Amino acid sequence: MLNALAPMAAVLIFLLMFILIILDRWPHHRVTLCCGLATLLLVFGVMMDDGGEAIIRTLNLRSLVHPEFWIASKESAESAAGINWSTILFIAGMMVMVEGMADAGFFQWLCLRLAKWVKYMASKIFLVFMFISAILAMFIDSITVILFLAAVTVELGKTLKFNPVPVILAEIFCANLGGSATMCGDPPNIIIGTSLHLTFADFLLNTGLIALICLFVTIIYFWLCFGKELKEAEKQEIDLNSLPEPSTVIKNKTSFGASVAIFFLAVVMLITHAQTGLTVAFIGVFIALLTLLCAGRKAPELLKKVDINTLLFFIGLFVVVSGLEETGVLEVIAHFIGDVSGGNIVLVIVIILWVSAIASAFVDNIPFSATMIPIIQTLSATQGIPIHTLAWTLSIGTDIGGSATPIGASANVVGTAVAIKNGYPVGWGKYCKACVPATIIVLLLSTAIILLRYVVLGG
């Protein structure tokens, strides 16, 4: 009797979690952890009669001591169920590295160096910052990228007398696009990649190619929207003396050099991880340890800055999603999508891409993608559609869709928050007027590329 109620309870807990996240009244990590605990106790502990097997599978602690978790072999077959510790360790490692880079003044230096390089011309800063936003977001979490880019943009806007809001909106869009290009660019991609055992190169050659084409279209779009306004701003008289020299923001040259070297090492390790066999969990832990070692006495300070709440958010989230998976709810949804599409691959791609995009525009794309992974796995198994095609579709849908509204992705929240904090209000109207058409254009283009490459040309 109780066993039959388990799927319903799992769905209710999941919906409650989503509603509480949307309401944003309580810290998100507390919401997911409480809902995760409810899933463990109520759904797995009380309702499911399996001797605690579901709890063990969900906590997934055994994977941590498995050699395959750290160094993968070609026959690697790690379970994708339960808490995705690879994602959590990798994100934690990258957080430590990014904190080290920020502490050394890397991001501010880079932004100011680029602004100086284009002779502080507003329209050129606009173009260069869009590019750098996309490139940095390929390797570093987009929140950090936008946090620094937006802050420097506001400062440059004040001195160079241009409106920083269009530049920040374009940076946000390009950061989300850049994030979709690689496995480590955006949390949904890390979850998709680690769950489906995809490599950095897999992402780069698939979503990376789509992102590159879309980036050029995006830059043209934003240039047509705001280029004239920024060109006009260049005609004003400005005082460049109040701008700091790029080199002055470097606090310590040794730690600056070390943090840049660690960053490049991380990039090399990620690009070559399919050849070396090192998993993203290993890379994350290794890079974090290296950063802490180089930081010396500053290491505890760096660790304190790591956003532990985000990691706790992921743990809770994975448990709640496991509740849906273990009780068979996600399988039912997958079969429903399969029935609606009648097994037609074109329809499945269109549904996954656009539903993911629309959902991600309004709800956090991290829980959404975590929920969708078991669904696309079932769809692939039952409908005979290549799992990789569905993975790229899901990745592009969630990453790009998140750009449409001010709440769709974390980078949007941070970028608009920086603008508002500095006295530049960015409401839904202003944001969506610029970003909704861009999102639709990029989604249409992505749909066309995916269908052409994976359906018409067969991959």
Partner 1 sequence: MEKDDQQLIITISREFGSGGKEIAQILGEKYGIPVYEKNILSQLGIRTQEDMDEFRVLDETPRWLIASRTVRGLTNSNEEMLAAMQFQFLKDEANAGHSFIVLGHCAEEILKDHEALITIFVSADKEFKIPRIMKEHHLNEKEATKMMKRHNKNRKQYHNYYCKNAWGDSRYYDMCLKSSALGTQKTAALIDDFVRMRTEEKA
450 token code pair:
């995916």
């379970």: which residue's tokens? 79
Q: To the nearest whole angstrom, how small is the minimum distance from the Cβ of residue 449 to partner 1?
A: 30
How far is residue 161's CA from residue 156's CA, in Å, rounded to a whole number? 8
How far is residue 293's CA from residue 281's CA, in Å, rounded to a whole number? 18
Q: To the nearest whole angstrom, how small is the minimum distance from the Cβ of residue 444 to partner 1?
A: 27
Q: Which of 45, 52, 427, 437 binds partner 1 (CB under 8 A)?
A: 427
Stretch that binds partner 1, among 17-25, 99-107, 242-250, 383-391 (CB under 8 A): 17-25
Smaller CB distance to partner 1: residue 265 or 413? Answer: 413
Q: Which of 15, 24, 220, 245 binds partner 1 (CB under 8 A)?
A: 24
Q: To the nearest whole angstrom, how small is the minimum distance from the Cβ of residue 157 to partner 1?
A: 10
Is residue 235 a contact point for partner 1 (CB under 8 A)? no
Is residue 172 a contact point for partner 1 (CB under 8 A)? no
How far is residue 189's CA from residue 206's CA, in Å, rounded to a whole number? 12
Q: Which of residues 355-414 bind partner 1 (CB under 8 A)?
A: 364, 406-407, 410, 412-414
Stretch that binds partner 1, among 1-9, 84-92, 384-392, 426-434 (CB under 8 A): 426-434
28: amino acid identity, one letter: H
Helix (H) or strand (E) holding 90: helix 85-103
Is residue 418 a contact point for partner 1 (CB under 8 A)? yes
Smaller CB distance to partner 1: residue 150 or 215? Answer: 150
DSSP 8-state code for residue 278: B
Stretch that binds partner 1, among 16-24, 59-67, 119-127, 352-360 (CB under 8 A): 16-24
Site string for partner 1, 305-324 (x = CB under 8 A): --x--x--------------
How far is residue 49's CA from residue 232's CA, in Å, rounded to a whole number? 69
C-alpha distances in Å from residue 320, one per residue of 15, 18, 59, 362: 10, 10, 11, 20
Residue 435: phi and psi, rounded to 5, are: -95, -25
Is residue 60 a contact point for partner 1 (CB under 8 A)? no
Is residue 68 a contact point for partner 1 (CB under 8 A)? no
CB 455 within 8 A of CB 346: yes
Give the total of residues touching partner 1 (CB under 8 A).
25
How far is residue 311's CA from residue 334's CA, in Å, rounded to a whole number? 28
Q: Which of residues 104-143 bind partner 1 (CB under 8 A)?
A: 143
327 token code pair:
């009780």
Helices (H), 251-326: 253-271, 273-276, 280-295, 299-305, 308-326
What is the contact surface with partner 1 in residues (CB under 8 A)? 22-25, 143, 307, 310, 364, 406-407, 410, 412-414, 416-418, 420-421, 423-428
